[in-house]
Amino acid sequence: MNDSFTITMKPDEFTKTLEMAILHGGHFYRKLAEAALAADPINKAKIYRTFPELTESYGPDSPFFIAAYGKRNHLRVVK
C-alpha cells in the first residue's frame, strides 16, 4: 500500500463526497460510502486510501460535486 497517499479536502468535503457517491454511484460505491459514513476515522481513511476512485469520481473536482456544491474555493494571497 502506498503510504504517501494524501487527500487535501476540507472536513465537510469528505462527507459531501460520500453523499455524492450515495446519490450518484452504482451499488458498490453507494454501499462503500455508507460504510465510510458509519466508520471511525481510521477505517474511513482506509476506505479513502484503498479506493481513490471514490474521490476522483465523487469528490470536489468531480462533475457531480461541482453541480451540487459549486467549484472549490481556494485561498489566494492578494497584495
Q: Would residue 27 be called left, alpha or beta, if left means φ above 0 and alpha means ψ between -120 and 50 degrees?
A: alpha
pTM over 0.95: no
Give the integer Cα–Cα distance in Å for 17 and 53: 11
pLDDT of amino acid 46: 95
The confidence score (pLDDT) of residue 52 equals 94
pLDDT along the chain (79 residues), means of 10: 62 93 97 97 94 94 92 63
Query: How many Å apart are CA 32 and CA 21, to the nearest integer?
Result: 8
Q: Cell for 45?
A: 481513511
Domain boundaries, the chain: 11-69
